[in-house]
Chain A
Amino acid sequence: MELAWPDPKDTTVLGKRILRLDGPDKTTGRAKYTYDTNRPRMLWAKYATCPHGHARVKSVDVDAAQKMAGVVAIEVLAPAGSELNVAFSEVAIVAAESEEVAREAVRRIQVEYEVLPHNVVDDDPQLAGASAKPGKANVAGDPDAAFKEAAAVSETEVGCSIITHCCMESHGSAVEVAADGKSLTAWCSTQAISGKNGRFANEAGIGDASTSVAICQHMGGGFGSKFDIDAWGAWAAKLSARTKRPVKVMLERDMELALAGSRPSAFARMRVGCKEDGTVTAWESEAWGSGGNGGGLGVNQLPYVFGNVPNKRTRTTPITTNTGEQRAWRAPSHPQMALLTMAAMSDCAAELGMDELDFFKKNLGYTQRAKVYEEELNLAADLIDWKKKWVPRGDQADGVRHGLGLSIHTWGGGGHDSNVQCTIHPDGAVEIACGTQDLGVGTRTALAIVAAETLGLPLEKIKVSIGDSRLPPSGGSGGSTTIGGISSASRDACVQAANALFEKVAPDLGGDPKKLVAKGGKVYAADNEAKAIPWDVACRSIGAQPQVTTGTQQRSLMQQGVGGAQAAEVEVDVETGIVRVLKLVAVQDCGRIIDLLTAESQVRGALIMGVCSALYEERIMDPVTGTLLNPDMEFYKLAGIADVGELVVKMMETPEHLGRGVVGLGEPPVISPMAAISNAVANAIGARVARCPMTPDRVLAAVGKKKGA
């Protein structure tokens, strides 16, 4: 059997719509997450946190907490003299017999602070003062001359707020150090389980990773924020070692929203110049924003996708703020760069009086994959009925207005390192083991699909084990690299397994193992299906011990580099400022598809996440106190079921696309929705809403500005 993926036309389960294997466990509550860990004698640990954006600790008094019945251990994390740079920073941690006692003990810890000056302003470099560090201007070609010669020059000011990951399962771990202190078991909500045993063992002072186990059978969302065990995981291990009891640390929602990762804000003033025919000739952008306390911004590749515009001047100014640090958030920097670029391109089209679709297509020569984008834009336009519904920006009647907008995006992908073990038992049972994790994208199911297809077996026959540090190591789930790594390693392991089995049964099937195929639960020579051996019977030839093969990630089976196009249709009530998404269309290429159903689900999910950042969610900081004003899910707003409109997903399934290797889907489809929705709103109201999320006040401000109010 060849390693190459089978012809898409000949597959039974590969690339079809396959229900995820853990669906029944998740819908019935049987699926156990880290947060669900209950161990005998387990302690709960909770944090006391700082209410100020920037402060020095003057004193910490834990006496009252210490005296409480049920409090087992308290550790002061920020003793007198410590400087804390972000609201909700950890000051002390309490381990107690129950969650209620731990919370109450935290409230009894008395901390005195010297409040220090802070900056939480990330949307105005002037106001941010010394916290803003202007970068150098990058110049290509002759932008000044190009602007002078341009037939139309547009000006755009747009941006987006800091958002957080807001994982449904908060960050955390539960750790149980054995009574002899020489081993531990850790349950960790993580995007990277392989190797986590060593991290916990180290923190617990065990000093031997081989005696420790880390488990993540199910996890409630990560989106880029859950790669490390983090300080809270370390404290679960330390407190367990100290108290000789299991300890669970799950962040309260406020701390999760404040500290456990965020996506930088990005704002820009941009000018775009173009010729009469719509060809862009000049680009200028002045961008700023904040990645929080650690600084960093990341939007330094403007214009996005249309990168080869010949004449450009760009500059970025990162601002350091007293807010929680950034972490990778699905497709780091790309959604922000897409918003800035697509808004500026859309405004230039409007300035010139050209259809946005034609304008985007006219400039695809500046992208890395003009043909793919052209194909995808045409499909997206058809699916949203662009030709019939699009009208130029202008004077729609007051009341509810209607608009369409576009965006295109790109992402790399590629596959990470992965090891997959395929065990075939002499009775025909098949086990697939891989130290990967399923963030909810269907990793478990994908491993089974590849094995079932390769071995010609029904899915039910494949038993998959993941989410355990004892399994063959596999990479962390980031950058859309999981599916490439695990699917190609699974294919490799199973092709080796099939070929080893073929060697053993060949004498009964014409003698040539190269002619054998495994299909429909049988093994037979390709030219003699009549003389087939059932799978279970064939496996008897394995002998007494199970047959084990190990596969690794295969460059020939995976690839990187995808493109996608999205279109949005909105209604905007210019009297209330409320935007309603009517329809979103996503056209996405991801090379070879493993499970069409979970691929489509992931794209739909990305569209919904994009609606959240376009219209609802943002981290709101108080400039006076420097604290987070919306540290809960009532005011850190996510879209609800009625807010997302109709979602249309079209995966590129032409032979050309499917003929490529596997490429991940975690990042690409989440990049464009905010940009496409911003453009649709601009199309509807004839003005650019300056900031996402496009809350009613911001929409009304844009409407008012246009009217000269």
Chain B
Amino acid sequence: MSNRQEPAPSGFTRRSFLQGMGAGALAAGAGVLSPKIANGAPQDAAKPGLCGPDPVPVTLELNGKKVTLPLEPRVTLLDALRNHLDLTGAKKVCDRATCGACTVLMDGKAVYSCTVLAIEAQGRKIETVEGLAESNQGIAAMQRCFVENDAQQCGFCTPGFVMACESFRRSHPKAARNEVLEGLGGNLCRCGTYHGVTQAVLDAIRGGK
């Protein structure tokens, strides 16, 4: 992989920067900040820790279990889950942190996993839609509320919505309808399931689940 050249300047975006870092886009040399630094450890400007572009061992704390796998540093958390671990609940839709279909929880907070590098997610507790179900005998209360309110049609936005709603419910245990509408603006649906989603969150909150 060391024979990689500068990516073509056309189509160079913030995101291609993120994913292309392993391609030697940094003047300092091919690589990204090491996991230790990415995790917020004090940074030594003189000796930046670098790794990549070849695969490096990445350890994720995923649904309560530690998993280590070799990943290129440019691999997003979403692609690590979907393409490397076959956890395909989180979906790739906009791939630009707009639609929320890729939402997972990182230390309990909803994040767009399409815009988090897997390497950055080390040391964080990652919870996916599959994990939420597993830790609740196959289906969690929020997921059941979705089913009961017919809050899914094609279902492609649903796992992301479920995770965003679950995060919202945990942080807003007494939210009213208008807060729900404000709090869930980060997820999009095309079939038009918002009515059911709103009801599902309100039911889950009411149930204190």
Residues of A within 8 A of B (CB): 19-20, 22-33, 35-36, 38, 51, 64, 67-69, 98-100, 103-104, 107-108, 110, 166-170, 218-221, 223, 250, 252-253, 439-441, 597-598, 601-602, 604-609, 632-634, 638-642, 644, 647
Chain B 138-172, CB-CB to A under 8 Å as 1, else 0, gives 11000110111011111111110010000000000
Asked if B5 contacts A609 (CB within 8 A), the reply is no
Question: Measured between C-beta atoms, what is the minimum distance from A583 to chain B in Å?
Answer: 12
Asked if B190 contacts A218 (CB within 8 A), the reply is no
Residue of B20, B96, B133 near A104 (CB, 8 A) is B20
In the complex the two chains form, what is the Cα distance from A167 to B72 in whole Å?
Answer: 30
For B23, the chain A residues whose CB sits under 8 A away are 104
CB nearest to A640 among chain B residues = B185
With contacts A28-B143, A168-B190 taken as known, whether A602 is within 8 angstroms of B153 at the C-beta atoms is yes
Within 8 A of A (CB), among B175-209: 180-182, 184-185, 187-198
Question: Measured between C-beta atoms, what is the minimum distance from A210 to chain B in Å?
Answer: 30
In the complex the two chains form, what is the Cα distance from A112 to B74 in whole Å?
Answer: 29
Q: Does B27 contact A (CB under 8 A)?
A: no
In the complex the two chains form, what is the Cα distance from A223 to B129 in whole Å?
Answer: 26
Q: Does B79 contact A (CB under 8 A)?
A: yes
Asked if B192 contacts A29 (CB within 8 A), the reply is no
In the complex the two chains form, what is the Cα distance from A35 to B86 in whole Å?
Answer: 11
Asked if A108 contacts B8 (CB within 8 A), the reply is yes
Asked if A29 contacts B154 (CB within 8 A), the reply is no
CB nearest to A670 among chain B residues = B192
Q: Which 9 A-B residue pairings sit nearest by Cβ, starting from the closest?
A: A29-B89, A605-B192, A440-B154, A220-B156, A608-B192, A26-B155, A36-B88, A440-B153, A23-B147
For A67, the chain B residues whose CB sits under 8 A away are 3
Chain B 71-86, CB-CB to A under 8 Å as 1, else 0, gives 0101100010011001
For A439, the chain B residues whose CB sits under 8 A away are 154
For A609, the chain B residues whose CB sits under 8 A away are 190-192
With contacts A169-B93, A440-B191 taken as known, whether A107 is within 8 angstroms of B156 at the C-beta atoms is no
For B43, the chain A residues whose CB sits under 8 A away are none
Asked if B154 contacts A100 (CB within 8 A), the reply is no
Residue of A27, A107, A108 near B146 (CB, 8 A) is A27
Question: In the complex, which of the residues A23, A28, A99, A103 has the most CB atoms of chain B within 10 Å of its own CB atom?
Answer: A28
With contacts A23-B146, A253-B95 taken as known, whether A168 is within 8 angstroms of B189 at the C-beta atoms is yes
For B101, the chain A residues whose CB sits under 8 A away are 168
Asked if A100 contacts B72 (CB within 8 A), the reply is yes
Residue of B79, B82, B94, B129 near A253 (CB, 8 A) is B94
CB nearest to B201 among chain A residues = A641
Question: In the complex, which of the residues B89, B187, B192 has the most CB atoms of chain A within 10 Å of its own CB atom?
Answer: B192
Asked if A38 contacts B83 (CB within 8 A), the reply is yes
Residue of B138, B190, B195 near A604 (CB, 8 A) is B195
Q: Does B34 contact A (CB under 8 A)?
A: no
In the complex the two chains form, what is the Cα distance from A219 to B159 in whole Å?
Answer: 14
Asked if B8 contacts A110 (CB within 8 A), the reply is yes
Q: Does B99 contact A (CB under 8 A)?
A: yes
Asked if A31 contacts B155 (CB within 8 A), the reply is yes
Asked if B75 contacts A69 (CB within 8 A), the reply is no
Residue of B74, B96, B129 near A632 (CB, 8 A) is B96
Asked if B11 contacts A107 (CB within 8 A), the reply is yes
Question: Measured between C-beta atoms, what is the minimum distance from A92 to chain B in Å?
Answer: 13
Q: Does B1 contact A (CB under 8 A)?
A: yes
With contacts A23-B146, A641-B197 taken as known, whether A168 is within 8 angstroms of B152 at the C-beta atoms is no
For B20, the chain A residues whose CB sits under 8 A away are 104, 107
CB nearest to B2 among chain A residues = A69
CB nearest to A23 among chain B residues = B147
Within 8 A of A (CB), among B79-115: 79, 82-83, 86-96, 98-99, 101
Residue of A28, A98, A167, A219 near B129 (CB, 8 A) is A28
Asked if B192 contacts A604 (CB within 8 A), the reply is yes
Asked if A27 contacts B139 (CB within 8 A), the reply is yes
For A27, the chain B residues whose CB sits under 8 A away are 129, 139, 143-144, 146-147, 151-152, 155, 158-159, 162
